[in-house]
Every structure is written in structure tokens, then in C-alpha cells.
Structure 1
Amino acid sequence: MVFFESAPAKITLSVDVLGKRDDGYHDVEMVMTTVDLADRVALSSLNGDRIDVSADNQYVPNDERNLAFKAALALKNKYHLTRGVRIDIEKNIPVSAGLGGGSSDAAAVLRGLNKLWKLNLSLEELAEIGAGIGSDVPFCVYGSTALAKGRGEIIEEIPPPPVKWAILAKPNIGVSTRVVFNQLEIENLPHPNTTKILDAIAEQDFYKLCNHVGNVLETVTTSLFPNVQRIKEKMTQAGANGVLMSGSGPTIVGLVEHQYKAIRIYNGLRGFCDEVYVVRVIGHSNTC
């Protein structure tokens, strides 16, 4: 029997960094939601106590470095399982893009194995396991819209944002989250107003949301890769209502109200950027 799980990309609507923690991580406040650009994860039983991973992207490791592998191993170790599983990943989310592709794959493995192995775990229990794999995995387990705190593992689900369409533009570079955080000068950051972003979502006010989106990590990523700033400026000039970098980048997100406008901006950016996508914002929870 084969179980299939969708692993949707996540975009950030706000990223703030509050300080550095004693454990080496940073305290963050992030507002995140999901879009319909997604990897497809297939899970099937194997004889023997082993995990096999195969991803159809040369930049994704097919061994214990893969977060999907780590998710299966974490589940097996926690519940002392000796079952085998094969994990096949169809990659559609760009790699090292700030869109949470690896974390979403790991979350999909947790949800899928919960069904395949009939563990009857709640999303909360799966998210707790996911926190040991990566900071974005708990959010991806829920696959909703949420305020994330701590190092990203404390999840407070909120209503979906008042946005239906977004354009994603990713230049042909990869960004290391670790490098970005290591170069962050917290005392000089222009902090976004997270409260106003949450208010805009609660009020379902599209324009208020667009006026307050922001990402403090842009200060580092755009200094390392000036083309990211140029793409952001191009996205703004093309008419996107709210424009910011997703996660640690380099993908730039443009929020729009209508599909026709998203397609027009997409066409204007295609010759300027290597990878451009029109996506629908999902923002609702997965069920287990």
C-alpha cells in the first residue's frame, strides 16, 4: 500500500528576530502561511528495519541528511518501531529558496507514516517530534496560517490571510539560513509591526496587511546578493501590493488580490528572474 502526502510550500508574511538565545538559536516572531506550490511525497512499506529515500532533484540528498529521512527515523526511534519505509519525493518547491521545502517534506512524512503505521498521533504530537528535526517542521505539520515564536517551533494557529494570489520569484542562487542569522545585527534591525499584521488578518483587510508585511532577514540576504533587492524592486514596480522576501530568501513574494494581476506580473518578471510562479494562498490546516 502507498500513501501520498502533499507537502506545500510556506511563505512568510512577517519575520522578526528578537534576540539570540543561550542555545545558539534566535528568538523569532514569524507569520507564515501555505501556498499550493507543493512537493508530492509517497510512502510505502519495506521489509526490514530500514529507510530508503529518493528525491527527483540532484540538489536533494537521498540519505540521512534528508529531513524526510530524519523525520522517519525520529518517529521510529521515539516509538521503538522496527518497520521499514520507502520515501519517494517529487520536488516542485525550489531548493534553498526560503519556502520550507525540506521541512514540508519532513512534515509530510510524519503525517503519512502516522497513517501508514496506524499510530493515531495528533498533529500536536507530530509537531513536537518535528521540532527536533527543524525549526520550520512544526509549522509545516499543521500546514495552516500561524504565528510562530521561540526558534519557530511554538505555533499559534490563526485564520487564513486575506490574500488569494501571490507571485514567487527566485533567482538562481541558494541561501544558507545559518549564514544569514550569523550575520544579523539585531540591534540595528527595522522591526516589522507583527501586531498590525495579526490585526489585518483578523480584520481580513488585504491592504492593511500589504502595508505592514516585512522581513528583517532581508538586510543580510540583500547585502550578500544584491540581485534579490533588484527583484524586490522589480516586483514592486510591476504592481504587487505587498512585497517581501520569504524566510531567509532568496525568493521574493508579491501579494495581489486578483489572478489576472498575478499573471500580468508573472509575465513581466519571467525574463528578469530564473524561476517565477503564480500560486494560490491556501492557509488552512491539514488534517491527520
Structure 2
Amino acid sequence: MKVYEKAPAKINLSLDVLRKRSDGYHEVEMIMTMVDLADRLEMEELPRDTIIISSQAGYIPLDEKNLAFQAAKLIKERYSVKKGVYIHLDKRIPVAAGLAGGSSDAAAALRGLNRLWNLNISVEELQKLGEELGSDVPFCVKGGTAIARGRGERLEMISSPPQCWVILVKPPINVSTADVYGRLSVDKIRNRPSTEALLESIRTGNFHALCKSLGNVLEDVTMELHPEVRHLKETMLRLGADGALMSGSGPTVFGLVQRESKLARIYNGLRGFCKEVHAVRLLTGTS
């Protein structure tokens, strides 16, 4: 038997950092949603008690450093599964991009292995398992749109934003999330996003208000380290995106576009700067 799971990318419509916590993590408040750019996982049971991962992508680890591997190991240990699994990971989401590709792969592995081994684990339990793997994993387990608080693991599901096109562009650089958070001075943050304003725009389906309410306090830090991220955001807006923002700790920048007629011009304009450009839709349901 084989099971298949889709692992969609997430974007941050907002990201605010409230304070540094005593455990070393940062207290965040952010609104996340998913887009139709996805990795795909194929999972097949093995007779011997082992975990094997393969991928067409030559640049990702296929051992215990891989979050899908860690997810498989965790679920096997926690539920005393003595069978093995072969996971093929068809990688489409750029890595180290601020799009939670690894976290979404881990979430898809949890969901898929739950089905493969008939474990009947609830979504809530899978999210709890996901917390042990990474802050974004609980959100990726369920998908949809949510306000995330705490380290990102405390979720409040909300309605989907107005449907639109999303253009994602990742410059050929990698950004360390730990490095960006390490350089952030919480007491010096000036332009915080308004979660309430963003929530209201989603509630009322007001696309233009949503575009005005986008905000990410990590942008300035990443843009100082990598000025090309600022250049990409400015270029995206100049080409006609209705709103643009860096996702997560970067370096991916996304643009929201309501009218399809604008799409080709923005997409082609950005292809002049970067190879990794994707034009996708928002995912308005769960993953």
C-alpha cells in the first residue's frame, strides 16, 4: 500500500515579535496561510524496521537532518510501530526560503504515516507531535489560515483571505532564521503590523485593505543583511503587485495580485532578476 500527501508552502501575511522569552525563544504573533506551491510525499511500508528517504532534489539531507525523517522516527517511537517506511520526497518548495517547506514535509509525513499504519491519531494529537519537530509544524498539519502565537505553536483558525494570485520570488541566497532573530532588537521595532486591521480585512473580504495591512518586523533585519531582498520587494511593487512582503525570516518575497492581467508582466519582470519565481493561487481550504 502507498499513501500520498501534499505539503503546501506557507506565507506570513503578518509577523510580529512581541518579546524575548526566558526559554530563549521569541514570543510571536503572526497570521499565516497556505499557497498552492507544494512538495509531494509518497510513502510505502517496508518489511524491515527502517526509514529510507529519497528525493529528486540533490540539495536536501536524506538522513536524520531531514524533518520528514524526524517525523517518521517520532511517530514510530511514540506509537511503537515496528515496521519500516520508504518516503519519496518530490521537492518543489525552495529550501531555506521562509516558506516552511521542511515543516510542511514533516506535517505531511505525520498525516501520511497516520493513514499508512492505521494509527487513528487525531489532528490535535498530530499537532502536538509536530510541536516537538518545529514551531511551524502544528500549523502545517492542519493547513488553512491561522493566527499563531507563543513560539508559533498556539493556533487560532480563522477564515481564508480573499482569493488572489501569489507571486513568490526567492533570490539565490540562504538566510539563517536563528541569525535573523539573533540580530533583532525587540525594543527598537518601530513599524509593527496590526493584527486587528489584517483580521478585519480578512473578515470583510477587503483585498486592498489586506494589502495595506501586510507587515513583517523581520524584514528590516534581513534586508540589512541582504539588500537584494529589499530590491526584489520594491521591484515587485513597481511592476504592479497590489501588496508585497517578505515571508518569515526570508529571503522569499511574495506579491499579491488580484487581476490576472497583471500577472505575466510581474512574473516576467522578476524572472529577469531571479530563476526561482512561482505564480500560484492561495489555498483557501485546508491542506
Query: TM-score if structure 2 supplies the norm length?
Result: 0.98
Q: Secondary structure at the match of 2:99?
A: coil
Q: Is the contact between residue 14 and residue 214 of structure 1 (CA under 8 Å) also seen in structure 2?
A: yes
Paired position in structure 1 for 2:259:
258
Is the deviation greater in 256-265 or in 110-119? 256-265
Question: What are the superposed Cα offsets for residues 159-211 of structure 1, whole Å, 9 maximum, x if unpaired?
Answer: 11013211111100111111111111111112111111011111111011000
Partner of 2:156: 156
1:132 aligns with 2:132: yes
* Aligned pairs for 1:48-197 within 5 A: 48-189=48-189, 190-197=191-198
2:205: which partner in 1?
A: 204
Query: Which deviations, in whole Å up to 9, do the C-alpha atoms of 1:121-146 show, x marking residues without a partner?
Result: 12111111001001110110011111
- Counterpart of 1:281 in 2: which secondary structure? strand
Moved more, 273-282 or 229-238: 273-282
Alignment correspondent of 1:218: 219
2 CA distance for matches of 1:277 and 1:174? 18
Distance 1:168 1:236 in 2: 13
Query: What's the CA shift string for 1:242-280, capped at 9, x where partnerless?
Result: 110001100101011122222221011110223111011
Distance 1:99 1:178 in 2: 15
Q: Check the 8 A contact 2:2/2:43 in 1, yes or no.
A: yes
Q: TM-score, normalised by structure 1?
A: 0.97
Unaligned ranges ≥5, structure 2: none
- Residue-pair matches, total: 286
State the AA in 2 paired with 1:11. I
1:262 alignment partner AA: L
Q: Is the 8 A contact 2:163 2:284 kept in 1?
A: no
Cα distance between partner residues in 1 of 2:195 and 2:220: 18
Question: Does 62-71 or 157-166 show the bigger shift?
Answer: 157-166
SS in 2 for 1:180: helix
**Structure 2 residue identity aligned to 1:259:** E
CA distance in 2, matches of 1:260, 1:160: 23
| TM-aligned CA deviation for residue 239 of structure 1 | 0.9
Please give the alpha-carbon distance, in whole angstroms, between the structure 1 residues aligned to 2:159 and 2:122: 20
In structure 2, what residue type is equivalent to 1:75? I
Match of 1:35 in 2: 35
Q: Would you say the 8 A contact 1:231–1:273 is kept in 2?
A: no
Q: Secondary structure at the match of 1:166?
A: strand
Q: Per the alignment, in what secondary structure is the counterpart of residue 31 of structure 1?
A: strand
In 2, Cα distance between equivalents of 1:196 and 1:64: 41
Runs of 4+ residues over 6 Å off in structure 1: none
SS, match of residue 57 in structure 1 = coil
Aligned equivalents of 1:65, 1:187: Cα separation in 2: 34
**1: CA distance between counterparts of 2:33 and 2:113?**
23
1:284 alignment counterpart? 285
Cα distance in 1 for residues equivalent to 2:212 and 2:72: 41
What's the counterpart of residue 230 of structure 2?
229
Q: Which amino acid aligns with 2:129?
A: I
